[in-house]
Chain A
C-alpha cells in the first residue's frame, strides 16, 4: 500500500538555504511548502538549485504562467523532476499527451477529451456518489478514522478503474504504482526503472485482456484509436493509460484530503458550508486555489531568460501552480481561504495547451466527495493534528488525516 511508503523519510540531505539549494523531496518541503514559496517569492522569486543536475523554482504567478505558455523554449518531454533525464523520444515522450510537445500534442490530447467532457463526466456522478457512501458506511459508528486513507484515496482510483475497464479490486496495485511514479522521486534511477517495469507488466495484462475481449471503455477506445489514419503505436496506448492512472489518482486524493483537512481544522468554515450548501461551487474553486496539489515541470529546450534568470538547455524548471495560486500580486487576500471568493482565476489545473484533461472529472469527484462527507458528518475535527502527514514531491496533499466525528 502506498500509505506505508509515504511515511519513509526522505533520503536527500536537508536543505540549509532554500534560495540556492532547494529540494522538493525533503521532509521540510512536505511540512511547509507554502511558507517556503512565500519566502522565496519575496527573497528570490526564481530560485536555482544544483540538485537533480540543475533545477529552477519560480514562485510568482507571472513567471509560472510565462513558462506554461512558452512551448518553444521549454519542453514537456518529462514533467517529473528526477536525478536523470528522460530517455523516451520527443515528440511523443513517455506518456502522451502530458509528455508531448506541439504539434504532436494536440491530436494526442484531442482524442482523450470527449471521455472527460463535462457532459461525459456527469454520467459518472451517480456511480461516484454510491461509492463514496459505501466508503462512509464502512466507517460509520467509528469515533475516529483516517479521512485520507479510509476515504479520499479510494475515490479517484475506483472511478478511473471503471473508465478504463480495469478490475475495481486492483485499487491497491494502482496506488502503489502511482506512488512510485510521483512521490518516490528521490529513489535511485535503477529502482525507479524497476518500478516502471512493474507498471508496464500490469498494464500489459490489462491491455491483453481488452484485446481478447474488447468492450465499451477507454482502454478499448485507445486500442482502436487512430492518428493520421494509423493505429496508435503500442507505446502510445500504454503511455496514455499509464498517464490516466498516474495523473488522476494522487492528485484528486490530495485535493479531497486537503479540503477535508481545512474543514476539520477550521470549524467556522465547516459550519458555514454545512449551513449554506449554495457556497459549494465557490468553496471548491477556493480549495483548488489554496490547496492546489500539482506542481508540474519542464526541461529547458532553448536558452531563455525568466524573471532575469538565464536558463540553459537540459535544466529542469518546476512549475508550481500552487505557488502561483498564492501570489499576492495576482490574488486579493491570497493567504486566506475565502469560501465565497467570486473572482478566482486560479491555475490549479495548469495554464495553456496542457490544461488538465481530467479537470471536469476531478471537480466532480471533489464535489461529490465533499457533499457526501458533509451530509453524513456535518461536524468533525482533527483527531490528532500532529499525526497529519503531507506528501513530498510534486503532488501535495495529506497522506494521513485522522478525524474525530463530533456529531
Chain B
C-alpha cells in the first residue's frame, strides 16, 4: 500500500499527522507530506485508512498493492 498527499488540496488540518505520525510529517507551515515515499508497512495499513477517512479536505489517496 502507498499513500499520497495532494499538496494542492492539503490545508494543514493536521489530522493525518495526529493519527499516524509514523506515516506523515508536517512542514514548518503545517502542511503534510507522506514519509518514506508513501510506502505503508503492513501493520500500519489500518492507520493509513483512518488518516484518509479523517482528512477534511480529501487530500490523501491510497494506492493498494
Residues of A within 8 A of B (CB): 110, 113-114, 116-119, 281, 285, 342-347, 349, 351-353, 355, 359-360, 363
**A351 touching B56 in the complex, CB below 8 Å, given contacts A118-B14, A360-B14:** yes
**A117 touching B30 in the complex, CB below 8 Å, given contacts A343-B54, A355-B11:** yes
Beta-carbon contact of A117 and B28 below 8 Å:
yes
Q: How far is the CA of A342 from the CA of B47 in the complex (A)?
A: 10
**Chain A residues touching B, majority SS:** helix
Across chains A and B, the number of contacting residue pairs, with CB separation under 8 Å, is 54
Contact of A345 among B12, B29, B54 (CB under 8 A): B54
Beta-carbon contact of A113 and B12 below 8 Å:
yes
Beta-carbon contact of B50 and A114 below 8 Å:
no
Q: How far is the CA of A355 from the CA of B56 in the complex (A)?
A: 10
Residues of B within 8 A of A119 (CB): 26, 28
In the complex, what residue of chain B is closest to A345 when comparing beta carbons?
B56
Residues of A within 8 A of B11 (CB): 351-353, 355
Residues of A within 8 A of B50 (CB): 342-343
Beta-carbon contact of B17 and A349 below 8 Å:
no
Q: How far is the CA of A117 from the CA of B29 in the complex (A)?
A: 6
Residues of A within 8 A of B12 (CB): 113, 355
Residues of A within 8 A of B27 (CB): 117
Contact of A110 among B15, B26, B29, B56 (CB under 8 A): B29
Beta-carbon contact of A349 and B13 below 8 Å:
yes
Q: Which 4 A-B pairs have the closest CB atoms?
A: A355-B11, A113-B29, A117-B30, A343-B53
In the complex, what residue of chain A is closest to B29 when comparing beta carbons?
A113
**A347 touching B56 in the complex, CB below 8 Å, given contacts A118-B14, A281-B18, A360-B14:** yes
Beta-carbon contact of A359 and B14 below 8 Å:
yes
10 pairs from A and B in contact (CB 8 Å cutoff) = A116-B30, A117-B27, A342-B50, A342-B53, A345-B56, A347-B56, A349-B13, A352-B11, A352-B57, A355-B12
Beta-carbon contact of A355 and B13 below 8 Å:
yes
In the complex, what residue of chain B is closest to A112 when comparing beta carbons?
B29
Known: A118-B30, A359-B14, A360-B30. 9 other contacts (CB 8 A): A113-B30, A117-B27, A118-B14, A285-B15, A285-B54, A345-B53, A349-B56, A351-B11, A351-B57
Q: How far is the CB of A124 from chain B (nearest CB, A)?
A: 15
Q: How far is the CB of A345 from chain B (nearest CB, A)?
A: 5
